[in-house]
Amino acid sequence: MRRLIAFDMISLDGYFVDARGDMGWAKTSAPDPEYDAFVAGNASGGGVLLFGRITYELMVRYWPTPLALQNDPVVAERMNSGPKVVFSRTLDRVTWANTTLVTGDLAGEVRRMKQAEGPGLAILGSGSIVAQLTRERLIDEYQFVVIPLVLGAGRTLFEGLPRPLGLVLTGSRAFANGNVVLTYRPGA
């Protein structure tokens, strides 16, 4: 069975987007070669990337550009060449290479993908997708990069959960730029 990982950057006060719906604040960390190597290693780790429409539209505006290839060549190569799935009820086509559009039942499709043979699955960003798949108990692991920044307002990843979700810490790693990666699995 394939594993599904959710990878998200969150502010110290728990928001994944600010009050305007922007994630630009997540790129404000001080330069840190060790953190950059972690991000590049994560991006080149293989697997199928899953996006909701909003995250897909943000990603496709940057990763296929010459600027991305210049600034982040390892990550850009992985993002552009790897398989991607975008879940949307409003898009009618996708233009990014190696991307499949799924317009039907999110939970049903992810269940099918998890049962199929193949590499692991990773959700990047996509708060609505994370919340929906958390409700269905389909996410096997959560990886949060906590950015040492307080936004004061925004949107959390888990809005609308009908009941609490206990998590078990399975790993942590701090970087010199202040970012901390916390890894959890769902509890009982």
Please determine, for residue 46, whether its predicted confidence score (pLDDT) is greater than 80.
no
Q: Residue 16 sits in which domain range? A: 4-186
* CA pair distance 167, 151, nearest whole angstrom: 24
Paired strand residues for 116: none
Instruction: Please state the pTM of the whole predicted model.
Output: 0.91
For 130, which DSSP code?
H
Confidence of residue 1 (pLDDT cuts 50, 70, 90): confident
Write down the residue that tokens 């949307």 correspond to.
88
pLDDT value of position 163: 87
pLDDT, tens only, 118-141: 999 999 888 889 999 999 999 999
pLDDT value of position 74: 82
Q: What is the mean pLDDT of residues 148-172?
A: 92
Q: Kindly list the distances between the CA atom of residue 129 and the CA atoms of 42, 54, 87, 141, in Å, as whole numbers in the listed order.
A: 20, 10, 8, 14
CA 183 to chain centre: 13
- Residue 143 token pair: 């990886």
- Torsion (CA) 148, 139, 53, 121 in degrees, nearest 10: 100
- Check which CATH number belongs to the domain holding 109 and give it: 3.40.430.10
Structurally, how many domains does the chain consist of?
1
Please determine, for residue 42, whether its predicted confidence score (pLDDT) is greater than 80.
no
Secondary structure element (H or E) that encloses residue 18, with its range: strand 17-18
* Range scoring the smallest mean pLDDT among 96-100, 120-124, 159-163, 165-169: 159-163
Name the E strands within 29-157. 48-52, 84-87, 99-102, 121-124, 141-147, 154-155
Q: Nearest CA to 145 among 166, 167, 173?
A: 173
Sign, CA dihedral 134-156-24-169, equals: negative
pLDDT, tens only, 49-70: 999 998 899 899 999 999 999 9
Q: What's phi and psi for 9, nearest 5 deg?
A: -100, 135
Please determine, for residue 43, whether its predicted confidence score (pLDDT) is greater than 60.
no
Does residue 149 or residue 45 have the better pLDDT? 149
